[in-house]
Homo-oligomer: A and B are copies of this chain.
């Protein structure tokens, strides 16, 4: 029996596919520090479960395809605090930011259309775009220049006539890069010039450090008709398991396209939308403590990485990821070795190898993504394990 070309071309998630080896290491009694997945350890605000527990209907019914009204209104309130005015029809509730992205690419891409994206990019964009029969047109960046890409010359070099959209993750996953207002303007002008959709993945919007202000492409009026935002409660409120996200656009045709797909899958889970509404009703100050904690963690990981001879890494300004180039030939081989052969006092560490975050073959082989989602003590130890691991790996003759 044959599978479709699109699915055959898809890869397993490089973030998740080493999970089996990690499970084996744990079975063998090792402690594994997980830096591979963006699963925060920050407590989910108790308001979420409170709202869920208060559900008292006898029948758990279908919701409206576009989403629960109270949730939509609470999202409007949240954006108004950012100075952005939204109407209810601008917002579609989705099963996580992931479904928003699937729906968006299905709505805008024909077969072999391309989407410009800075590489390294969040690896699941491969799956979203391939499932919609599209391809990624990579804007190649490098660890040496801090993965910067908001530059007209770089953008023009990556563009071709099949490009229908530019997708931006800001703050960046996996790079932690943040765009300044000027950077965002460069991208807006470029998208207008080439008549591209702008797909803005802003799920890490609050996670900006060093006193920088958070931003959104929604504040650029000149692109309102070509902008669609993918958003999510997952990282913002440490509620990844809720699977509540949003596709937000003022383009009426795109709203209709998204709604047709949304009606096909009927609706999002009722209880989770109630919980999510309570999260969006939290005051803006909620984020301050979380932001401070992540900023300290970033510094902790960065300081630890800087102790590794030969590492290339620039301090990122946002999200909760750091990309680094390791002084080894293959970050995947090194990870396998860490999970299967190495331990230091019974402990080892797991990161996401970054090759799967690139579209250009051969790039990223010795790069890794670290998600700093553990407490600082564990983070420091985890990065120390990478350092000790590299020393031992090299001492054993590996390259």
Q: Chain A interface (Cβ within 8 Å of chain B)?
A: 1-8, 10-13, 16-17, 37, 39-44, 48-49, 52-53, 55, 58-63, 65, 95-96, 98-99, 102, 106-111, 113, 124, 126-128, 131-133, 164, 195, 197, 225-226, 238-243, 251, 253-254, 256-257, 259-261, 263-272
Nearest CB in chain B to that of A107: its residue = B7
Q: A264 to B125: give the CA distance in the assembly, Å.
A: 8
Report whether B44 and A59 are in contact in the complex, using a CB–CB cutoff of 8 Å: yes
Report whether B265 and A95 are in contact in the complex, using a CB–CB cutoff of 8 Å: yes
Known: A240-B60, A243-B95. A132 touches B4 (CB 8 A): yes
Q: A128 to B262: give the CA distance in the assembly, Å.
A: 11
Report whether A131 and B264 are in contact in the complex, using a CB–CB cutoff of 8 Å: yes
Q: A17 to B263: give the CA distance in the assembly, Å.
A: 9
CB neighbours of A8 from chain B (8 A): 257
Report whether A13 and B62 are in contact in the complex, using a CB–CB cutoff of 8 Å: no
Nearest CB in chain B to that of A266: its residue = B98
Q: A5 to B109: give the CA distance in the assembly, Å.
A: 8
* A4 → chain B closest CB, angstroms: 5
Nearest CB in chain B to that of A263: its residue = B13
The 6 closest A-B pairs by CB, nearest first: A127-B264, A241-B270, A13-B263, A98-B265, A60-B241, A7-B257
Report whether B241 and A62 are in contact in the complex, using a CB–CB cutoff of 8 Å: yes
In the complex, besides A8-B257, A240-B266, 10 extra interface pairs with C-beta distance below 8 angstroms are A7-B260, A39-B62, A49-B60, A60-B241, A62-B241, A95-B99, A95-B265, A98-B265, A102-B264, A243-B267
